[in-house]
Amino acid sequence: MAAIQSDTHRLRLIVRYLVLILIAVIFIFPLLFMVMSSLKSDHQLLADTSSLRAFLPVGDLSLKNYAGAFERAPVGLFVFNSVFVTGTTVLLSLLVCSMAGFSFVFLHWRGRNVVLSLILATLIVPFETIAIPLLLEVSKLPWIGLNGLEWGWLDSYRVQIIPWIADGLTIFLFVQYFKGLPGELIEAARVEGASWFQIYLRVVMPLSGPVIATAAILKFLVMYNQYLWPLIVVQQETYRPVMVGLQYFFQLSPAWGEIMAYLTLITVPVLAFYLVLQRAFIASIASTGVKG
């Protein structure tokens, strides 16, 4: 009887691992294809696509595509622009949206439910529908910079950052998470005489690791993959992000090897960000909760 149970257990384990391996393969193979193809010549790359060779480091391998990518486009500048715009937006977004969420959950001001409903309603509006009105708006906004008062935000970092700081989804994530926090903590802090800002900073935010990590990852992906918005508001190469930069490689005959090299290079910040946040994510889960 014990032997049968052990066999069933082993079979289940094998099936489970097979399914997991299959899922891992599905996720890893595109990345593997990208990295391997970045090391091959265009002719070999295209010839290999019809077989498993596409995923293997076979044939004449070299770093020529990487050199070609750097020659064709200012890759470093594009990566810097994207990392800067994305990083700044993520930080500001976490700050603004968490404060908004805090206000909706803990500060009992009149009309907050209506305002929250309106903010959530923006989730069903696709960005494409407001892109043109937003473009017209930002092209006429004032700004005080190093050169004094200027009109129009086009061709700048701010035009890529500011419109993206607050969004319905991030606010919603914070609201939902804050609602689940134990009310006793807030009450206790109030009794102790803490101000609302102190409660936000010292009590609520330290307990919000998981939602911060989730919101940061989602925002990071949205921002790093920005294409349409920077395409229409940025005309100068100086401010172009990575996704618009990808178009440099699609000429009449696309340089596939260089495209794969470029994609490999621009994937590095995403992986780095994920790895860093993954640790923070696990750590925050481990330390969350009301300690006895």
Q: Give the interface with another protein as residue ranges (CB under 8 A).
A: 43, 46-47, 49-50, 71-73, 132, 135-136, 139, 152, 154, 231-233, 235-237, 244-245, 247-253
**Which CB, 196 or 237, lies closer to another protein?**
237
Counting Cβ atoms within 10 Å, is residue 39 exposed (0-12), middle (13-18) or buried (19+)?
buried
**Which CB, 73 or 83, lies closer to another protein?**
73
φ/ψ of 165, rounded to 5, equals: -65, -55
CB of 185 to another protein, least distance (A): 49
CB of 250 to another protein, least distance (A): 5
| Residue 193 Ramachandran class (φ > 0 left, ψ -120 to 50 alpha, else beta) | left
φ/ψ of 194, rounded to 5, equals: -75, 145
CB of 62 to another protein, least distance (A): 19
Q: How many angstroms separate the CA atoms of 189 and 202, rounded?
A: 10
Q: Reduced to 3 DSSP states, what percent helix, strand and coil does the chain have, rounded to the nearest 5?
A: 75, 5, 25
CB of 237 to another protein, least distance (A): 7
| Residue 253 Ramachandran class (φ > 0 left, ψ -120 to 50 alpha, else beta) | beta
**Which CB, 131 or 189, lies closer to another protein?**
131
**Which CB, 223 or 233, lies closer to another protein?**
233
CB of 225 to another protein, least distance (A): 15
**Which CB, 113 or 253, lies closer to another protein?**
253
